[in-house]
Amino acid sequence: MFENPRRQKQLHKFVQKLGLPSTTPVDWSLLNLALTHPSISHTDNYEQLEFVGDSVVRLIAAELLLETYPQEPVGEFAAIRSILVSDRVLAELAETYGIEPYLLIGTNATGNPVGRQSWLADAFEAVLGALYLSTHNMDLIRPWLDRALKIKAAEVRRDPARLNYKDALQEWTQRKYKILPEYRVKENKLFKSSVNRTNLSVQTERFLAEVWLKDRCLGKGYGRSKKASEQAAAKEAFLTIRDV
Amino acid sequence: MFENPRRQKQLHKFVQKLGLPSTTPVDWSLLNLALTHPSISHTDNYEQLEFVGDSVVRLIAAELLLETYPQEPVGEFAAIRSILVSDRVLAELAETYGIEPYLLIGTNATGNPVGRQSWLADAFEAVLGALYLSTHNMDLIRPWLDRALKIKAAEVRRDPARLNYKDALQEWTQRKYKILPEYRVKENKLFKSSVNRTNLSVQTERFLAEVWLKDRCLGKGYGRSKKASEQAAAKEAFLTIRDV
């Protein structure tokens, strides 16, 4: 790595963009790996660091939520955290900190817009993994990441529609009961019967989902797609279970 | 907390049992909370610390697996970690370190043997959360936990039958594809038809499970119970997917 002064310079620049001083004790070869997509090398890439970084961001989010909203019930934390650590939010953060120009990635991979959110999030997690492993604490991360995560957490709390209720419910049932909720989706009978008769709003809701935990139905929901009906069922379940 | 010298003494003793010196900079009121079950107080109990501790043990397990088996593929790490952080293993560790006598818990809760594994694991995670938050690094944890986790990791690698393949598969698909596998369980037709005719071994396998990821069937498995058939399907899927 140190034989490539151009890459070394790039990585220094990236660390400065995070707001860290140039004397920061970064393990540069780890940071180099964190910014190397598997399309460049099957063996020397960000995958292992991403595995570490995934836990790093979960821990930081937990700590930060506890510090910022000490009165909030734990179910709420779990729901908010599931969003903060989602690919969507992590990819947004990767964009904010302008990771992309520093990431070594094959053109095959960049050409595919579907995977973009995924590799941005993965590389971001890997960077957190590399910075954590550089010092074995959060000193190189929290100084810049806390502010961004706090803003995201406040956004989620202001606008619960941002919540992915399926993720939130899963987070909750796994933590609390150690099992996953089960979705059962059917065609909505009301939809079928009304299609040829009236313009009832139920017309558009083609699917009916139920979400079950063991032998208990926790919620029901209608939607135009299977996914939408599951989200609606998860929302009902989550809002009920949270208030228990 | 400090008004109760008896509790303070107990907590000191517990920290010594972990092998930490008596001068350890523990946040004693956090440790007191970590060792307080919700049956004692609805508000001042281990739940928030457990939320933090859950991420702490995941991070430590990730770091330790990377240090101990640097050549292992990441899918393997994910599978092993899902066991290391399972309630079963965490409850075993809680027993090893003799948490129970230090845990404040109502008799209602201890009377229920079903929940025992769960609250032992929860309290153990909460203790890790309290120790992490005492110093904001792993200095109070890794000196004693590493050895125990390494032993468990080696056990899992020696005897893959210890693997909970459903957990392992889920860990893998969520990390890799950001979705959960879906199980479809049916009555096993062979079972039904053979019951009255022969003694084929298929007789005992009443259920047939398939595990799907999006539109792809990853594996099939038979079992005496729904759960067993799902585990069998998950095993086939995990062993296939891991080698891709």
Contacts of A78 in chain B (CB under 8 A): 51
Residue B175 corresponds to which tokens in the numbers above? Answer: 């990390």
Residues B62-90 pLDDT 10s: 999 999 999 888 878 888 898 899 888 99
The pLDDT assigned to A242 comes to: 65
What top-level class would CATH report for the domain B165-242?
Answer: alpha beta
Predicted confidence at residue A202, as pLDDT, reads 46
Given B27, B100, B122, B125, the catalytic residue = B125
Which of A47, A55, A66 is facing B59, going by the closest CB pair?
A55
- What is residue B146's three-state secondary structure? helix
Write down the residue that tokens 């891709």 correspond to. Answer: B244
| CB B146 within 8 Å of CB B140 | no
From first to last of its 244 residues, chain A has per-residue pLDDT tens of: 557 899 999 999 999 999 998 788 999 999 999 999 999 999 999 999 999 999 999 999 999 999 999 988 887 888 889 889 988 899 999 999 999 999 999 987 777 766 898 999 999 999 999 999 999 999 999 999 999 999 999 988 887 666 678 887 887 787 677 778 899 998 877 765 544 455 444 456 788 999 998 888 999 999 888 888 998 899 888 877 765 5
Q: Is A125 a catalytic residue?
A: yes
**Residue extents of the structural domains in chain A:** 5-161, 165-242
Do B55 and A51 lie within an 8 Å CB cutoff?
no
Residue among A47, A55, A180 whose CB faces B55 most closely: A55
What average pLDDT score do residues B123-130 get? Answer: 98
Joined tokens for residue B144: 């004693």
- Residue B173, pLDDT above cutoff 90: no
Give the number of other Cβ atoms within 10 Å of residue B136's Cβ. 12
Q: Which residues of chain B approach chain A closer than 8 Å at the C-beta?
A: 47-48, 50-52, 54-56, 58-59, 61-63, 66, 74, 77-78, 87, 118, 132-133, 136-138, 170, 175, 178, 180
Share of chain B above pLDDT 70, in %: 88
Residue B218's H or E segment, with its range, is: strand B216-223
Higher pLDDT: B224 or B32? It is B32
- Which residues of B are less than 8 Å from A62 in CB distance? 51-52, 54-55
pLDDT in tens, B147-171: 999 999 998 888 766 667 888 788 7
Q: Do B51 and A58 touch (CB under 8 A)?
A: no
As a whole number of angstroms, the distance between CA A72 and CA A76 comes to: 7
Q: What is the pLDDT at residue A134?
A: 97
Q: For residue range A162-211, what is the model confidence (pLDDT) as tens digits?
A: 667 888 788 778 767 777 889 999 887 776 554 445 544 445 678 899 99
The pLDDT, as a whole number, for residue A192 is: 55
What ipTM was estimated for this complex?
A: 0.78
Res A201: pLDDT: 45
Summarize chain A as % helix, strand, coil (round to 5).
Answer: 65, 10, 25
Topology of A5-161 in CATH? Ribonuclease iii, N-terminal Endonuclease Domain; Chain A (1.10.1520)
Q: Is the dihedral of CA A213, A217, A222, A225 positive or negative?
A: positive
Active site residue A27: no
DSSP bridge partners of B104: B36
- The residue of chain B with its CA nearest to that of A57 is B55
Chain B residues touching residue A63 (CB < 8 angstroms)? 52, 133
**Cα angle B93, B95, B98; round to 5:** 115
Of A50, A122, A125, A236, catalytic = A125
Mean pLDDT on B170-177: 76
